Amino acid sequence: MHPIQLFDPTSCTYTYLLADPATRQAVIIDPVDGQLERDLALLEREGLTLKWTLETHAHADHITSAARLVELTGAHSGAPAACEVGTAAVQLRDGDTLDFGRERLRVLHTPGHTAGSVCYLWQPRQAGAPAQLFTGDTLLIDGCGRTDFQSGDAGQLYDSITQKLFTLADDTRVWPGHDYEGRTHSNVGHERAHNARLAGRTRAEFVALMLALNLPHPRRIDEALPANRRSGLHQMAGAPLAPDEHGVRAAVGYAGDMSPATAWAWVQAGRAALVDVRTDAEREWVGFVPGALAVAWKQWPGMALNPDFDAQMRAAGQGGRPLLLICRSGVRSIAAARRATELGLTAYNVTEGFEGDPDQHAQRGHLGGWRHAGLPWRQN
Ligand SMILES: N[C@@H](CCC(=O)N[C@@H](CS)C(=O)NCC(=O)O)C(=O)O
Ligand SMILES: [Fe+2]
């Protein structure tokens, strides 16, 4: 009953995948954006349905893939209530529990590294299995998270670690959010006795030590914090790049991004085919785009799979016809456009999709998406 530990070498971040063997429901903790494909492939290979994507705090050193995991797997996102991640579906508080299959995680609010930081405690159902503690940057192996930015507070960190974590059983396994020296895990008994920053130190001594650390700021903090407060939707944050004379904005991995209005103009002019990559159920529930080809994105575990995605896309893009991909909010269509590009097709992403990204609406003060842009659509 072990979590799967995954490593991002760029930021030295550990991501954890926990699964209930009986139901194959799973939880991911602190996923990293650059590792999205790896994590999706792992879910698929293990036959897991992602139930939750959870954050231990709003990270300063890397960007989460939570929003994309939600879009691609149907998982729910959870973030600590005090971390100001407005896009998370569930705002987590001390003592909250999260179920995945027959297993359960408990949220421990452990302020200090940031005011909102939490740890997740998993007591597996399997008889005799030790508790598993996912400490984020609260407690690291032979160390702890820094407290010099982002509402950090060394005194609070001392209290969180000594009163909430070091009171757990000695054999509670400690799974940190980072390790910069290649160590993988520890346990509570060992850290209580030997942790270089905490063992044998009073609160005042610990606070003095933390104040004197003088670490350089994480390189990506200015980019990472705002992105993580939106579950990683950084590509859409701020002012988008200006479109070229055809209404196309440059993108990485596919032909480009365009607004719903531009997509409609291209379709009217016979320049391209519109491909709706949502599922039938989503279309029936929310609405159809007349004339769009329906090719559901080959979604990942937990949602309808379309094993014919590649073949259907090839047929749609026959003869080099450009394809304009639309989904619900403009995230899944990016993954689909990347795949279509790999197949040798010319694929564009329709930004904000059929319904739009609610956070974009708030930023720009108007409703986005096909449905709100005055373009033709019908109920069914
Ligand atoms: N060098 C890293 C920054 C590493 C860092 O500051 N890590 C934070 C966690 S987000 C920390 O608390 N480190 C504890 C320590 O170095 O003692 C970067 O530029 O991203
Ligand atoms: Fe951190």
All structural domains of the chain, each given as residue ranges with its CATH number in brackets, are 4-234 (3.60.15.10), 238-372 (3.40.250.10)
Question: What local confidence, expressed as pLDDT, does residue 237 receive?
Answer: 40
Structure tokens at 160: 């969180």
215 CB near ligand 1 (under 6 Å): yes
Q: Given ligand 1 and candidates 12, 140, 178, 223, which is best to mutate, with the most ligand atoms within 8 Å of its CB? A: 178
Question: What local confidence, expressed as pLDDT, does residue 250 receive?
Answer: 85
Question: Where would I find the beta strands (DSSP E) of 177-283?
Answer: 186-187, 256-258, 273-276
Angle made by CA atoms 130, 136, 141, in degrees to the nearest 5 = 70
Ligand 1 atom showing the smallest separation from residue 145 Cα: 12
Ligand 1 center to 56 CA (angstroms): 15
**Which of 136-145, 297-306, 322-331, 341-350 is predicted least confidently?**
297-306
Mean pLDDT of 105-131: 96
Q: Given ligand 1 and candidates 180, 181, 213, 228, which is best to mutate, with the most ligand atoms within 8 Å of its CB? A: 180
Summarised one tens digit per residue, pLDDT across range 64-91 is 999 888 878 888 999 999 999 988 889 9
Helices 332-342, 66-73: axis angle to 10 degrees equals 80
Exposure class string for 312-335: b at 16+ Cβ within 10 A, else e: bbeebbeeeeebbbbbbbbbbbbb
Rounded CA separation 254/344 (Å): 10
Summarised one tens digit per residue, pLDDT across range 277-321 is 998 888 888 899 989 999 999 766 556 678 899 999 999 999 999
Mean pLDDT of 115-127: 95
Ligand 2 center to 53 CA (angstroms): 17
Question: CA-based Rg of the chain, rounded to a whole angstrom?
Answer: 23
Question: What local confidence, expressed as pLDDT, does residue 236 receive?
Answer: 47
Rounded CA separation 252/271 (Å): 22
Rounded CA separation 80/119 (Å): 10
Question: What local confidence, expressed as pLDDT, does residue 304 receive?
Answer: 63
pTM: 0.74
Q: Given ligand 1 and candidates 137, 150, 214, 220, which is best to mutate, with the most ligand atoms within 8 Å of its CB? A: 137
Question: What local confidence, expressed as pLDDT, does residue 342 receive?
Answer: 93
Structure tokens at 245: 């004379």
Summarised one tens digit per residue, pLDDT across range 198-213 is 999 999 999 999 999 9
Rounded CA separation 316/296 (Å): 13
